[in-house]
With several copies, the nearest count.
Chain A
Amino acid sequence: MPELTYLEAINAALHDEMEADPRVFCMGEDVGRQGGAFGATKGLQQRYGVMRSIDTPVAEAGIAGVAIGAAMAGQRPVAEMQFGDFVSIAFDQLITCAAKMHYRIGWAVPMVMRCPNGGGVGGGPYHSENVEAWFHHHAGLKIVCPATAADAYGLLRASIRDPNPVVFCEHKFLYRREKAEVETGVDADVARIGEARIARSGDDLSIITYAATMQLSLSVADSLAAEGTSADVIDLRTLIPLDIETVLASVRKTGKVLIVHEDNLTGGFGAEIAALVAQRAFEYLDAPVTRVAGLDTPIPFTPVLEREYLPTEEDILRAARDLVAY
């Protein structure tokens, strides 16, 4: 099996789905000849032609709307936002048209909106957003947030095959830093949307997380192990639909829950997890439901400020120790 970066895994998933299904096509700004700002669509236009890897004008609302219409007309569009931040412009099309079409007339909208997501790359307030919480409140959209190269591959293929609109949040920080041996090819395994993963198993504490902070949490779990604390690390993988049973099972086991995400705290997806745990696992809780997240501010540009914004291993470790000591 080849070792692929998270970004290469995304590219491979696009190649394999386009090979497997002639209805699948990519569209977005500079995705064609250029292969996208990050190279996620590299080689697709050369291999599948200009009609299947389409350079569009700079028009995010239009891109989203065109993808929705093409999906309704039987294609499987994969639209790319050059940066996830710009999906703010497509917000209306996604929640007004994509999210509500099937509920109203049972007409499915099988499309994927790829959003290069997240900070830690010195991008500043407009190239670092975590956009998952712009959409998780709104019924009708699925939200996928892979943390590993294997999931970047398997979950993107699953998202393309899903009959519903999927907001696919690919974390830019992981693009080149995450690597894994991934089995690719048209017949390779495709992951399942809606299943969380126990990334690491432990008894003293449940760390519920996804995307970049999942990787942070794994090394925090190592440090905790060195201190004699064993932690469950749950990688949610998809936020909507949420595999709440896996979360609750872990919390019932450990009695202590630490929710971690890079996105800012207030109204982040962690709030929903905390609310569900506080309602459905209340009897099992031995400590306050705790969240570690980004600051409730825009994501600042200069490194010293961006570091302050981002949740760090130290932040997670400190919170974990407090929970264990509680």
Chain B
Amino acid sequence: MPPPQPERVSDESAIDLYYWMSLTRGVEERALNLYRQGKLPGSYYTGRGQEAIAVGIALPLRRGEAGDWLSPWIRDLGSYLVHGVPPWRIFAQFMGKAGSTTRGKDGNLHIGGREWNIPCQVSHMADMIPLTVGAALAYQQRGEDRVAVTSFGDAATSRGDFHEGLNIAAVLEVPAVFVAENNGWGYSTPISKQTKVTELYRKAASYGIPAVSVDGNDAFAVHGAVQAAVDAARAGRGPQFIECRTYRMGGHAAHDKYESYMPMEVLAEWSDKDPIKRLENALIEERALPEGRLETVRDRVKEEVRQAVELAERDGYPDASEAHEGVFADEAP
């Protein structure tokens, strides 16, 4: 079902969206170059074309250790940025440097830390959903008006943990928000082979969870839907579900030869719907903002990315001895 029309965000907030989305793309484009130069170990994933979702999920949330729990999916680098992770530490993570939030123990967007209330996601798809329900339960038990939010891809909806997590959330009526990013693909598998019910928001009906479906390439739509869902959850109206319709603008990972299975004409259509281009048009055509303001944002982003890479490159690697440390916590938090 279509979401309620979100009220129009201020120009300031619109510029804010533009800044974060641009920063997200800036960081990812730079990281992709570094990967291609062989400067990043492991494999590399980008969320290009899904920046409106990554940023739209995070902006409505309260930040910091006492803020809202956010467990983003690997496409959502922007969520980490908005929720507080400094860009240079994300580069450090990709590089496996000591300054990464995992001190090199984990890679790509397996990023997290108490200070941002971002748990460190695992590879196993949908595993973070029950954890998010648990965090929401904790807030509910303590009577705190905090919410727990997680995002995941369309293929994750096939996993048992998606089902168990959503059902428990509904029964316990916890303040959790679930964001499904329907980009039409799970690696090389089209959503049609993933499920017969490709309108993912309809799956929430099995649990009695209110759900909406929005255009995931429309930053305002995503932001508005998430804001409404978060408000509802915070107000004690239980878990909420949002489907964001988008498209994976390339391979599953940087090494994936997606040309072999992805229809190029569809890809072309979607690149016309690029969320950043679209936001620029909205800002300039509809809101008649001076091109200069966007220019300023882009310059700021360039500079921040440059500095971030510089910091990360200057950063050292963890000492080998650290591999032995940290399996167990010594004292309770």
User: A and B touching (C-beta < 8 Å)?
Assistant: yes
Pick the residue among A71, A103, A109, A126 that contacts B123 (CB under 8 A): A126
Interface band, chain A:
35 or more
Which residue of chain A has its CB nearest to the CB of B257?
A: A34
Interface string of B96-110 (1 = CB under 8 A from A): 110011101111001
CB distance from B85 to the nearest CB of A (A): 12
Q: B159, A59: Cβ atoms under 8 Å?
A: yes
- CB contacts (< 8 Å) of B187 on chain A: these are 29-30, 34, 37, 82
> B127 within 8 Å of A by Cβ?
yes
Question: In the bound complex, what is the Cα–Cα distance between A325 and B30 (angstroms)?
Answer: 54
B76-84, B112-120, B213-221, B232-240: which lies at the interface: B112-120
Interface string of A100-141 (1 = CB under 8 A from B): 111111111110000000000011111100000000000110
A66-B134, A108-B333 are contacts. A58–B186 as well, Cβ < 8 Å? Answer: yes
> A225 within 8 Å of B by Cβ?
no
Report how many A-B pairs have Cβ atoms within 8 Å.
268
Q: A105, B122: Cβ atoms under 8 Å?
A: no
Question: In the bound complex, what is the Cα–Cα distance between A312 and B149 (angstroms)?
Answer: 42
Interface string of B216-232 (1 = CB under 8 A from A): 00000000000000000
Question: In the bound complex, what is the Cα–Cα distance between A100 and B124 (angstroms)?
Answer: 12
Which residue of chain A has its CB nearest to the CB of B41?
A: A122
Question: In the bound complex, what is the Cα–Cα distance between A300 and B102 (angstroms)?
Answer: 10
Pick the residue among B105, B114, B125, B171 that contacts A301 (CB under 8 A): B105
Residues 282-333 (chain B) with a chain A CB within 8 angstroms: 317-324, 326-333
Question: In the bound complex, what is the Cα–Cα distance between A304 and B322 (angstroms)?
Answer: 10
Q: B106, A301: Cβ atoms under 8 Å?
A: yes
CB distance from A242 to the nearest CB of B (A): 13
CB distance from A123 to the nearest CB of B (A): 7
Q: A65, B127: Cβ atoms under 8 Å?
A: yes
- CB contacts (< 8 Å) of B107 on chain A: these are 122, 124, 301-302
Which residue of chain A has its CB nearest to the CB of B165?
A: A62
- CB contacts (< 8 Å) of B160 on chain A: these are 59, 61-62, 89
B9-17, B55-63, B188-196, B264-272: which lies at the interface: B188-196
Question: Interface residues of B, CB < 8 Å — how many?
Answer: 76
Q: B158, A70: Cβ atoms under 8 Å?
A: no
Q: A105, B102: Cβ atoms under 8 Å?
A: yes
CB distance from A304 to the nearest CB of B (A): 5
> A67 within 8 Å of B by Cβ?
yes
A72-80, A172-180, A197-205: which lies at the interface: A72-80
- CB contacts (< 8 Å) of B328 on chain A: these are 102, 140, 142, 163-164, 241
A107-B114, A126-B122 are contacts. A304–B159 as well, Cβ < 8 Å? Answer: no
Question: In the bound complex, what is the Cα–Cα distance between A89 and B165 (angstroms)?
Answer: 14
Q: A104, B41: Cβ atoms under 8 Å?
A: no
Q: A124, B110: Cβ atoms under 8 Å?
A: yes
- CB contacts (< 8 Å) of A309 on chain B: these are 323
- CB contacts (< 8 Å) of A139 on chain B: these are 327
Pick the residue among A97, A296, A302 that contacts B131 (CB under 8 A): A97
Q: B329, A62: Cβ atoms under 8 Å?
A: no
Question: In the bound complex, what is the Cα–Cα distance between A140 and B325 (angstroms)?
Answer: 11
> A290 within 8 Å of B by Cβ?
no
> B8 within 8 Å of A by Cβ?
no
Which residue of chain A has its CB nearest to the CB of B322?
A: A305
Q: B329, A104: Cβ atoms under 8 Å?
A: no
Which residue of chain B has its CB nearest to the CB of A296?
A: B327
Residues 81-111 (chain A) with a chain B CB within 8 angstroms: 82-83, 85-86, 88-89, 92-93, 96-97, 100-110
A57-B193, A300-B105, A304-B317 are contacts. A140–B332 as well, Cβ < 8 Å? Answer: no
- CB contacts (< 8 Å) of B131 on chain A: these are 65-66, 68-69, 72, 97
> B132 within 8 Å of A by Cβ?
yes
- CB contacts (< 8 Å) of A89 on chain B: these are 124, 159-160
Question: In the bound complex, what is the Cα–Cα distance between A62 and B158 (angstroms)?
Answer: 9
> B200 within 8 Å of A by Cβ?
no
Pick the residue among B104, B120, B168 that contacts A304 (CB under 8 A): B104
Residues 275-317 (chain A) with a chain B CB within 8 angstroms: 295-298, 300-309
Q: A107, B134: Cβ atoms under 8 Å?
A: no
Which residue of chain A has its CB nearest to the CB of B114?
A: A107
Question: In the bound complex, what is the Cα–Cα distance between A72 and B41 (angstroms)?
Answer: 29
- CB contacts (< 8 Å) of B158 on chain A: these are 57-59, 62
B contact residues vs A (CB 8 Å cutoff): 41-42, 69, 96-97, 100-102, 104-107, 110, 112-114, 119-120, 122-125, 127-142, 148, 155-156, 158-161, 164-165, 167-168, 171-172, 186-189, 193-195, 260-261, 317-324, 326-333
28 contacts between A and B (CB under 8 A): A34-B188, A34-B189, A51-B140, A54-B172, A57-B164, A58-B156, A59-B167, A61-B130, A69-B130, A74-B333, A75-B141, A86-B123, A89-B124, A89-B160, A96-B122, A105-B102, A105-B113, A164-B329, A295-B324, A297-B323, A297-B327, A298-B327, A300-B106, A302-B41, A302-B97, A302-B104, A304-B104, A304-B319
